[in-house]
Amino acid sequence: MSERFEPCDCSEAHARRRFLTASFALAGMTFVGTGTLSGIAYADALTKAKRDKLTPDEILALIRKGNKRFSSGRRATYNYLAQQRATAAGQYPMAVLLSCIDSRAPAETIMDLRIGDIFNSRVAGNVANPDILGSMEFACKVAGAKVVLVMGHTACGAIKGAIDNAELGNLTGLLAKIKPAVAATEYTGDRTSRNYAFVDAVARKNVELTMSGVRKDSPVLAGMESSGTIKIAGAMYNLQTGVIDFF
């Protein structure tokens, strides 16, 4: 921020410092408050103190609010270079996400988040594996994130592939991880990939199974959840509406 200002005499410098202090205070309030105040930029990055103060529920509420800003066309005005500079020396992300590689569901954009706000692991069909669990354990136990969010999305190609028993190189093995969700989805009617209602029901079930898999296969995260240090949550992103539905 300070680079924007030229050197100046003392009284001006004091006035600017007061202005900057006020701006930062307001930016902080805005971030946990109701949304953007026009003309006041958000703070450039989460600090350790700010992140540590947030509860898992408050973090989920911030993500929900960010998605509301996105889906209603009121995204915050961000200075990415300022965020890059503010985060260069350290990161204090509040959550770790597991979401699909789908090009239409970039978490930071649809949640209106800044550089440094979240860890984000992306893989087709948002399925977990030991490497992803290790990444989540790092995110929460070492780096201090307090929410594990598994996010699926509507009209997911990986889910369709699993329903269709598609086979292709390494993709076959990936889709095998989604197939239990196909079998476990209770749905009467057309259980094919042509039926988007079924595809989306499987995607939701897949998120639920992935969440239970995280708890079962990561005693580290399960322990942190039982002690209330973190929350493991699920969500579905709707490509049509831009809205994220939290479970």
By CB under 5 A, tell whether 102 contacts Zn ion: yes
CA atoms within 13 A on the CB side of 19: 11
By CB under 5 A, tell whether 117 contacts Zn ion: no
Structure tokens at 130: 């030991």
Q: Give the torsion sign (CA, 51, 54, 82, 10).
A: negative
In this chain, which stretch among 89-97, 102-110, 132-140, 175-183 interacts with Zn ion, using CB under 5 A? Answer: 102-110
How long is the chain? 247
Distance separating alpha carbons of residues 69 and 22, to the nearest angstrom: 24
Q: What angle do CA 244, 66, 233 make, to 5 degrees?
A: 50
Least separation in angstroms between residue 110's CB and Zn ion is 13
Give, as one character, the DSSP assignment of residue 147.
E
Comparing CB distances to Zn ion, the nearer of 54 and 178 is: 178
Comparing CB distances to Zn ion, the nearer of 113 and 207 is: 207
By CB under 5 A, tell whether 137 contacts Zn ion: no
Q: Which of 95, 156, 199, 221 binds Zn ion (CB under 5 A)?
A: 156
In this chain, which stretch among 106-114, 148-156, 184-192, 193-201 interacts with Zn ion, using CB under 5 A? Answer: 148-156
Least separation in angstroms between residue 161's CB and Zn ion is 9
Total chain residues near Zn ion (CB under 5 A):
4
Give, as one character, the DSSP assignment of residue 41.
P
In this chain, which stretch among 149-157, 173-181, 194-202, 216-224 interacts with Zn ion, using CB under 5 A? Answer: 149-157
Q: To 10 degrees, what angle do helices 196-217 and 130-137 make? A: 60
Q: Which of 41, 46, 100, 232 binds Zn ion (CB under 5 A)?
A: 100
CA atoms within 13 A on the CB side of 207: 26
Comparing CB distances to Zn ion, the nearer of 102 and 137 is: 102
